[in-house]
Chains A and B, each alone.
Chain A
Amino acid sequence: MPGFLITAILGAVLSGISLAIFAPYVTLRKVSYLGEALSHIAFAGISIAIITGINMNLTALIFVSLVALAISALARHQKLQEANTITIFLSLSMALGIILISLSRNYSFDLASYLFGNVLLILPSEAMMLGVLAIINTIFVVFFYKELFYLSYNPEMARVFRIKTGIVDRIFYMLLAANIVLNLKSAGIILVTAQLILPAVIAFNLVRRLHLAVVVSVLAAVLCAVAGFGISYGLNLPTGATIVMCQALLYALSFVFKRRI
């Protein structure tokens, strides 16, 4: 098997794992729309990188993290309704991205691969970065398990009982930004959020405890990454989209075994 294929499979699996560890918390905290917005906001970060020539992942990561923190701070202080804040940042970032791309003379940049994702273009260093991200995600959800649990349950009551959620909330938003940015190349701006939601909703259809949901979410993501990669390779289909289709199919199947409360 060619080296780039091994890197691509590894990239698809690690991408799935990193997103799937985070997915149950994104679902429980009902911030999937924020994930969707951040992936589009990353477009401005990518455009800045194209025009300045600075490392793309780094530029997009810094840009998206700053926007994510700004959104969380504005929402916390209730200066604006969260949905309005997110829409304003999303529109502004897309407008900025479109203007910068139109000004750029870098025609060699393949914008489509960032919009739709292309796991075959992943470099070994990027696959390694996804592995590191998966480890950081694991440490985060294990170490801050109780804070994340109660923050997801009810932030106001967590504050009443002095559960230290402030710093955990900020790290959560920064890691959400990192997960989206570092997975853009493999999953794509348009489809990355699907991989941040589907493994979790599959898991919550099957199990009712959070720690088990994280495990099932990861297993579902790995299964779909391998199956999706194989199908896309065999039928010459786009890999990211095929992986998402596999997750959607598994989600439909999970209803058969859905646990009832």
Chain B
Amino acid sequence: MVNKTKDFWVFVETNEDGTAKNVGIELLTPGRELADAQGGRLAAVVIGCNTDAAVSEANRHGADQIIVVDSEEYRKYTTDAYTIALVSLVEKYGPLSMMIGATNNGRDLGPRVACRLQTGLTADCTALAIDEATGKVAWTRPAFGGNLMATILCPEHYPQIGTVRPGVFKKGEETEEKAEIIREEIHVSADQIRTQVLEILKDMDDEKVDLENAEIIVSGGRGVGGPEGFEPVRALAKVLGATVGSSRAAVDAGWISHAHQVGQTGKTVAPKLYIACGISGAIQHQAGMSGSDCIVAINKDPDAPIFDIADYGIVGNLFEVLPILTEEIRKARA
């Protein structure tokens, strides 16, 4: 399709309570620069149910325009309803470019929308710029399990779309609300939604494993030695209010469920602090966590590759180190 404006859109995914997922607000930060460079407005697209909190948060983070689709059929994400809504907005307003947070839902929605619009999509980007030669968005993303980075352009199709990893960009400072708010009524009938949730199963170990939004993650790997080896890892996570992660080795050994896995075949995370306990740091694990602000590694093997990317590394036995570290933090916070 042909673009009608030079606007840059950020899709702001909502939770079932109508608040914004962090990544949507984070993307307004690079969105501001890219919209300015494109010479267009920065628009936030909010789809959900009872979305006032999400709309207000987008408004306080620099959006020039907020396009809102708010009704009951969008309370819980479905591929069919969200694709219909987002595609019809794009067709009506014709933005030049659009970013979608690379959450599970974002990566479900992105290809569906791009394909319906017959345009290009770059997945799971970690850096964004405007290409000097062409003026197009230069989408940079890892491939080959993080061994290679590729910069992708979508030169002749619109909108140019990319999904962008959570945690790569930080939420900007709050500013004055100035956005023009446009409300669109787009209704999807029940028979257009071809999937239904029949049952919700909570995680087996009865704790919420939201690695992607975690500020601190404490992960255990092969070095924990068994399922009970995760106890000191969990204890440290508890005092820090952190989420428990793991390497593939520990999941494959059956010591912890796959929901905890960080790495190429698990989750990609970017917390403020990542503590790797008994994890050697294979490239596949690094692919999932090297974007963390601060990395701490505790490993017996001084040559473990995790030390190459760690900000702080302890060569030592995690079963000796973790309880002392946990106790120090507990004392400091008491």
- Please say whether chains A and B are actual partners in one complex: no
Mark B residues whose CB is within 8 Å of A.
Answer: none
